[in-house]
């Protein structure tokens, strides 16, 4: 037999939440002079456990955004600018030739991507100001990398490694998804350059 919990209460306005059993009992205002209400019996039943036979719905993972050449080019040209601007700033700060030697190459990388934008009528997103980016994620990354690279030359070298590893990963994804031959050709040149830069930073680490 199921156990019943007996709860005795005076008639009051509103709802009384019965602690421990999670049952709300609605009580109406008693008329003037009305006798006390009889004790109210409330039966509690344990919550039913889900049937083991019932299928549990699993949310589908969000689909990755489809690759788009325009979006990729806009991102990649600013990513090359990020490398350039970080190396300019850290090169000025630490006076290390590893940064100044690679800066010119990063300028060349941007010049390779820019005609791809122009040929497709895509507006160039780059700012002429060092450290300023249209893409908010790249802006946040630039700020974080400069903060880290400003603590020591060793950390600045690690920043260079991180940038080139990220460039290689992003370019590899783009090359695998891209089907326009002129874009693939440029991206492969950028990838080779980033691999050379990564080797240079790793030798200094």
- Give the closest residue to 7 by CA, choosing from 30, 41, 48: 41
Contact 163, 145 (CB under 8 A): yes
pLDDT band of 14, cuts 50, 70, 90: very low
For the chain, which residues make up each domain, given as ranges? Answer: 4-43, 69-204
pLDDT for 4 equals 39
CATH topology of domain 69-204: Ferritin (1.20.1260)
Question: Are β-strands 23-27 and 40-43 bridged in parallel, bridged antiparallel, or unpaired?
Answer: unpaired
Determine the straight-line distance between the first and last CA of the chain, rounded to whole angstroms.
75
Give the C-alpha separation, 3 to 1, whole Å.
Answer: 6
Q: Please state the length of the chain.
A: 205
14-19 own/partner pairs: CB under 8 Å, 24+ apart: 18/42
Give the C-alpha separation, 196 to 189, whole Å.
Answer: 11
Q: Which helix (H) or strand (E) holds 185?
A: helix 181-204
Average pLDDT of the chain to the nearest whole number: 81
Give the C-alpha separation, 57 to 88, whole Å.
Answer: 52
pLDDT for 65 equals 74
- Digit-coded pLDDT (tens) for 182-199: 999 999 999 999 999 999
- Digit-coded pLDDT (tens) for 42-51: 444 445 554 5
pLDDT for 64 equals 63
3-state secondary structure of 25: strand
- Digit-coded pLDDT (tens) for 91-146: 999 999 999 999 999 999 999 999 999 999 999 999 999 999 999 999 999 999 99
Give the C-alpha separation, 145 to 131, whole Å.
Answer: 11
Measure Cα distances from 102 to 72, 165, 181 in Å: 23, 15, 27
101's tokens: 């030697």
């Amino acid at each position: 037999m199921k156990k019943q919990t007996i709860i005795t209460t005076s008639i009051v306005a509103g709802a009384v939440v019965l602690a421990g059993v999670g049952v709300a009992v609605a009580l109406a205002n008693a008329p003037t002079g009305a006798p006390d209400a009889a004790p109210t019996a409330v039966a509690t039943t344990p919550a039913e456990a889900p049937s083991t036979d019932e299928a549990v719905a699993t949310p589908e993972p969000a689909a990755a955004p489809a690759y788009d050449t325009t979006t990729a080019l806009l991102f990649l040209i600013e990513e090359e600018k990020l490398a350039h601007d970080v190396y300019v700033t850290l090169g000025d700060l630490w006076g290390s030739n590893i940064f100044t030697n690679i800066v010119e190459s990063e300028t060349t990388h941007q010049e390779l991507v820019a005609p791809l934008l122009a040929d497709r009528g895509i507006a160039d997103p780059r700012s002429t100001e060092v450290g300023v980016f249209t893409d908010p994620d790249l802006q946040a990354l630039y700020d974080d990398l400069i903060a880290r690279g400003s603590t020591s030359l060793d950390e600045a070298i690690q920043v260079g490694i991180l940038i080139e590893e990220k460039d290689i990963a992003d370019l590899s994804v783009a090359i695998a998804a891209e089907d326009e031959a002129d874009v693939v050709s440029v991206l492969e040149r950028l990838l080779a350059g980033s691999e050379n830069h990564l080797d240079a930073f790793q030798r200094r680490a």
